[in-house]
Amino acid sequence: MNSAPDNVVELNSVAKTFRDFWMRPTVKAVDGLDLTVARGEVFGLLGPNGSGKSTTIKMILGLIKPGAGTVRLFGLPPDSIAARRRLGYLPELSYLHPFLTARETISYYAGLCGLDSRTSKERTSQLLEMTGLADAAGRAVGGFSKGMARRVALASALVGRPELLILDEPTSGLDPVSTNEVKTLVKTLVKGGMTILMTSHLLADAEDVCNRVCILNHGRKVAEGKIGEIGSSLQDFFLAKVGEGRDFTVAEFLR
């Protein structure tokens, strides 16, 4: 497959079926997905819970191997070190070592990016300031609130100054102020030339920051389009695409 030079991420007929220890199929998480993310855009991968968003992200990161199809990151296989050098990742939950302090955590990821000790110290201090964690830099992250842990994870994703930032549910569980901060940060990073791929089921957030969205349901792409060209609000568009066939029987239940 030849990658277009402006495409940062390319997925071609990608499928993934999870299997148990005995290799019996359990869940078909992604089914024949085609997707491209162009340089400089904010691309939203939307869908209800269990639609295959996180699995898709993990295949792009090389953490999960696709069962079929090809994944390209900067035109390279996703497990290539050269591709991952240009990548930052914020997972859905802030997976952090609880025994490390905020400063140690960011320094650890700076080390994984191969930064020398001086650059690592400089960037760690800058990111602690930027995320408002300077005062808590010496505290173990195990004792942090969800919002603070999220900021440490975000700083860790940015420490290598990536060209592509992958955000998996970046505003999930955050209060309105922190959510707004994340959205402002995304807009600032994109102005600086970064490409962002984010997943969300919070449609208002996606509508605020994304240029283009793709909606997944049951592992399949059900719609794709630019915000503004959809023709209705993202909420209505989403419900029309994903809500089809869903039967809400709350009234019957309450009767």
Partner 1 sequence: MRRWRAIVKATILEMSSEPLALLLTLSSIAIIAFASVFHIHQFGGADSSRMARDAGFSVLLVIGIVYAVFCTVKVFRREIESGTAQMALAHPVSRAGFFVAKASGAFLAYAVFALTVFGVTVTTVVGAKAGGIVARRTGDIAFIWGPALAIDAAVAVLPLVLAAVADRFFRCRFTTAATWLSLAISLLGAAASIALAVAFGFGDGMIGVPLWLAPAAVMLLFPAAVFVAASAAFSVRVKEGVATALAGALFIVALPAFGNYYLSSALSKGATIPWSRVFAAGLAAVPFVASFGLLGIHLFNQRDIS
Interface residues with partner 1 (CB under 8 A)? 18, 54-55, 58, 61-65, 79, 81-82, 84-85, 87-89, 91, 93, 95-97, 99-100, 104, 107-116, 138-140, 153, 156, 160, 166
Which conformational region is residue 211 in: left (phi greater than 0), alpha (psi within -120 to 50 degrees), or beta? alpha
| Token pair 């709350």: residue | 250
Toward partner 1, which CB reaches closer, 92 or 224? 92
Nearest CA among 245, 247, 254 for reference residue 218: 245
Write down the least CB distance from residue 64 to partner 1, Å.
Answer: 4
Write down the least CB distance from residue 108 to partner 1, Å.
Answer: 5
Q: Which residues contact 58 (CB under 8 A, 6 or more apart)?
A: 64
DSSP percent split of the chain into helix, strand, coil, nearest 5: 35, 25, 35
**Cβ pair 212, 44 in contact under 8 A:** yes
Toward partner 1, which CB reaches closer, 21 or 248? 21
Write down the least CB distance from residue 199 to partner 1, Å.
Answer: 14
Toward partner 1, which CB reaches closer, 75 or 225? 75
Toward partner 1, which CB reaches closer, 77 or 243? 77
Toward partner 1, which CB reaches closer, 99 or 226? 99
DSSP code string of 127-153:
HHHHTT-GGGTTSBGGG--HHHHHHHH
Write down the least CB distance from residue 177 to partner 1, Å.
Answer: 25
The H-or-E segment that residue 29 falls in is strand 25-38
Write down the least CB distance from residue 113 to partner 1, Å.
Answer: 6
